[in-house]
C-alpha cells in the first residue's frame, strides 16, 4: 500500500497542469491503489495566497479532493510539536508542518522542494 502526502506546489500543479509533474509523481498520484493525503496546511497556504492575490484560484479545493479521492489530513498538536525536532533548514512553517506530518504518519512526501530533501523524510520527486 503506497501512502503519499502532496506538498502544496504539487497539489497546485496537479490541479492546473499535471504534465508539469514528473512521470513518477503522476503515476503515484493517479494510481487508484495509492492513498493520497492533502494536509490542512496546504489548503490553508493556498487560501492565504489566493486572498493576497499571489495565486489565482486554481479550483474548488473540496471538489478537487473529492474528484481525485484525496484524503484530507488534519493538523494535530502532535504534528505541531514535531516541528520542534526539525533542524532549521527550512523557514517556511507550512513546509515544516508537511515534513512533520509525513514523518509521523509514515507518508512519502511528493515535492520538488530541494530543501525538503535535506530532512529525514521519504520523498518522491514531483
Domain count, the chain: 1
Instruction: Quote the domain boundaries for residue 34.
Output: 3-125
pLDDT at position 96 is 97
pLDDT of residue 12: 94
- Mean pLDDT per 10-residue section of the chain, whose length is 126 residues: 95 95 98 97 94 82 93 98 94 96 98 94 97
- The side-by-side arrangement of strands in the sheet containing 71-73 is 71-73, 35-39, 3-6, 108-111, 123-125
> What's the pLDDT score for residue 66?
95
Q: DSSP letter at 18?
A: G
CA dihedral defined by 108, 114, 118, 119, rounded to 10 degrees? -40
| Nearest residue to 75 via CA among 28, 41, 117 | 41
Q: Contact at 8 Å (CB) between 37 and 107?
A: yes
CATH number (domain holding residue 34): 3.40.50.1010
pLDDT (0 to 100) of residue 57: 73
Per DSSP, helices labelled H in 17-120 are 23-30, 40-51, 61-68, 77-82, 93-105
Q: What is the pLDDT of residue 74?
A: 98
- Contact between 12 and 6 under an 8 Å Cβ cutoff? The reply is no
Query: What is the structure's pLDDT at 20?
Result: 97
Q: What is the pLDDT of residue 36?
A: 98
**pLDDT at position 70:** 97
Amino acid at each position: 500500500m503506497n501512502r503519499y502526502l502532496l506538498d502544496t506546489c504539487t497539489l497546485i500543479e496537479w490541479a492546473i497542469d499535471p504534465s508539469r509533474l514528473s512521470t513518477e509523481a503522476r503515476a503515484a498520484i493517479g494510481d487508484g491503489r495509492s492513498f493520497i493525503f492533502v494536509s490542512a496546511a496546504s489548503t490553508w497556504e493556498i487560501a492565504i495566497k489566493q486572498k493576497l492575490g499571489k495565486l489565482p484560484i486554481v479550483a474548488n479545493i473540496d471538489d478537487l479532493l473529492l474528484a481525485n479521492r484525496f484524503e484530507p489530513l488534519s493538523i494535530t498538536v502532535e504534528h505541531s510539536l514535531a516541528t520542534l525536532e526539525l533542524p532549521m533548514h527550512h523557514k517556511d512553517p507550512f513546509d515544516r508542518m508537511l515534513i512533520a506530518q509525513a514523518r509521523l504518519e509514515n507518508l512519502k512526501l511528493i515535492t520538488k522542494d530541494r530543501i525538503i530533501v535535506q530532512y529525514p523524510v521519504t520523498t518522491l520527486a514531483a
